[in-house]
Amino acid sequence: MATDFDGGGNLEVSPPVTVGSKEYLFGRVIYGAEGLYGPQAAIRQFLAAQGIQDPIEVDTTWLAIGHIDEVISFVPVNTARGFKMLIASPAAAQTILYILRSDGKGGLKLLEGKAGERTVNQILNDTGLMTFNDQKQAQIDTIRFWLCLELDLSDVDIIEVPVLFHYDPPSTKAMALTANLVNLLAVKNYHLIVPKPYGPNDGGTDEFEEYVLDQLNPIGLTVHFIDDWDWYHIFYGEVHCGTNARRFPDPTVHWWEQE
């Protein structure tokens, strides 16, 4: 029976990588699953049968939707490696909030003008929310560990982006509270279309946006923030969920000739 795990947002492919002695010229397939929970058996079998992209399963069952694009994305950079992996980070979000509070800016608002609008102080004083995000960080750290292992990544290949999660009782499954910055679209010429996070607003400057720009602009990426709140975020999705892109592999490398 079809489930949310069968959605396209739960299917990611890494850029080309070499792991040990094995070269994956077309990258590796990554999707969220855990045991019996995940894409249908027929889909898993189909992906595995391709042979050359050796699928990786990571546990996303703690998410309300359960898609891998809620946790990671890959962006192109002009380096020998050719890419960075972005990963959602409640810890990065919390660090930004703690710094703002220590600078006397605890009254800045997050989610300004949206349902759930709160100040930095109110977020940090919500011990239940902070504990929940600590737990989600631990689960994301496990995903990070396995992807580093399976894709031969190191810390230099990874950029953490600030995202806060929450849940809607009685369910304890996580969904993005601030718009999920990893759920983006990479387009040509190193441009990224990224959801507007509605992070702490300091006189018109979104501190989460500034953090992302400080991380991505120096490595040659141009970021365009787009407000997808009413169209996708409130339905548990973001930019990546509402877009598609045509990709063109190297025409000189024939997938049917790979082993």
> Euclidean distance between the first and final Cα of the chain, in Å?
32
pTM: 0.95
Topology, domain 4-257? L-arginine/glycine Amidinotransferase; Chain A (3.75.10)
* pLDDT, tens digit (0-9, with 9 covering 90-100), for 69-87: 999 999 999 998 999 999 9
* pLDDT given at position 119: 98
* pLDDT given at position 171: 94
* pLDDT given at position 73: 98
Query: CA 162 → CA 10, 26, 55, 134, 213, distances in Å?
Result: 21, 29, 27, 13, 12
* pLDDT given at position 247: 80
Over its length of 259 residues, how does the chain's per-residue pLDDT go in tens digits?
467 898 889 999 999 999 999 999 999 999 999 888 889 999 999 999 988 999 999 999 999 999 999 999 999 999 989 999 999 999 999 999 999 999 999 999 999 999 999 999 999 999 999 999 999 999 999 999 999 999 999 999 999 999 999 999 999 999 999 999 999 999 999 999 999 999 999 999 999 999 999 999 999 999 999 999 999 999 999 999 999 888 887 888 888 887 7
**Distance, CA of 16 to CA of 25 (rounded, Å):** 5
Active site residues: 241
**Distance, CA of 242 to CA of 117 (rounded, Å):** 25
φ/ψ of residue 97, rounded to 5: -65, -40
